[in-house]
């Protein structure tokens, strides 16, 4: 898997509105090697399956790996029989960044974590690595992106996800909040569209504690949310150490977060204050 740092496409007022990003179909020499972080999304009356697609490109005897996002609308045609989906490379889209076709490189869209708002799908993709940022000195890039796509299709026809609008690709800006984190990535699966308009996503991260060697870091689960794309906040509350792969749902004005822990157990946390504390 290739992890590429990316910049934001949402620029300040007065700057160029042309996006450096482009959604493209994989080339003919690309195959889907494996799938990760699969999930289901209900958009209106339609259900979509989506996942991170681990792609492999073979050229002149060498192999190159990168990731994309695979999606497929589920229908009732084969309701009584299992159907394999997302394994066809034609169902995969790859996000690329560059000023020209020759300069474009694949962007990391690992562990897509999605929230549905009417007919729009917001996906948190990519990951933050303190080591990678240090290697790219001078870049204020978290490596985490928010992408927005829409579902299209007339009534009675098969619905599809529209990947054309790359102006809706923006960097998740966390500023000083990232300083204490060594790694941060989406939890995969689905997030929550809150009643107050916030888009809330489960994330997994590692914190480097003073006096402890890096190898002793344990993953924790928490949430990240935004009311407007450029501004993001990490919740103060988090799971116990060693509990990752979070998934979050809203239930009776509370958030429920399920995690997979190092001891082999599943632990469910509850929050009545939007992630400020978990019990």
Quote the CA–CA distance of 37 and 126 in Å, as a whole number. 12
Residues in the chain: 279
Tell how far CA 278 is from the center of its chain.
23
pTM of the model: 0.84
pLDDT of 265 over the 50 cut: yes
What are the tens digits of pLDDT across the range 46-55?
899 999 999 9
The encoded tokens of residue 181 equal 């984190």
Half-sphere exposure of 79 (CA within 13 A, CB side): 4
What are the tens digits of pLDDT across the range 103-147?
889 999 999 999 999 889 999 999 998 776 554 544 445 689 999
**Residue bearing the bigger pLDDT, 46 or 168:** 46
Over residues 23-41, mean pLDDT: 92
Mean pLDDT (the chain) is 83
Over residues 246-252, mean pLDDT: 93
């Amino acid at each position: 898997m290739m992890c590429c740092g990316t910049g934001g496409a949402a620029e300040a007022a007065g700057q160029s509105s042309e996006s450096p990003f482009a959604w493209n179909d994989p080339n003919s020499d690309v195959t889907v090697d494996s799938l990760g972080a699969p999930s289901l999304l209900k958009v209106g009356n339609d259900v979509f399956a989506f996942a991170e697609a681990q792609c492999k490109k073979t050229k002149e005897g060498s192999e190159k790996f990168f990731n994309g996002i695979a999606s497929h609308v589920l229908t009732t045609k084969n309701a009584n029989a299992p159907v394999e989906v997302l394994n066809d490379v034609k169902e995969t889209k790859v996000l690329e960044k560059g000023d020209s076709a020759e300069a474009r490189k694949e962007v990391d869209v690992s562990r897509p974590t999605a929230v549905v708002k009417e007919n729009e799908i917001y996906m948190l993709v990519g990951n933050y690595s303190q080591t990678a940022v240090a290697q790219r000195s001078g870049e204020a890039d978290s490596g985490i992106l928010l992408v927005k796509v829409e579902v299209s299709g007339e009534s009675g026809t098969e619905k599809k996800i529209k990947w054309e609008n790359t102006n809706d690709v923006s960097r998740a800006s966390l500023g000083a909040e990232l300083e204490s984190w060594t790694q941060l990535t989406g939890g995969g699966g689905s997030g929550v569209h809150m009643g107050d308009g916030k888009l809330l996503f489960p994330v997994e991260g590692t914190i480097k504690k003073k006096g402890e060697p890096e190898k002793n870091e344990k993953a924790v689960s928490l949430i990240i949310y935004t009311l407007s794309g450029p501004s993001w906040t990490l919740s103060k509350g988090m799971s116990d150490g060693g509990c990752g792969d979070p998934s979050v749902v809203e239930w009776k004005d509370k958030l429920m977060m399920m995690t997979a822990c190092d001891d082999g157990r599943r632990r469910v946390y509850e929050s009545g204050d939007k992630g400020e504390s978990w019990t």
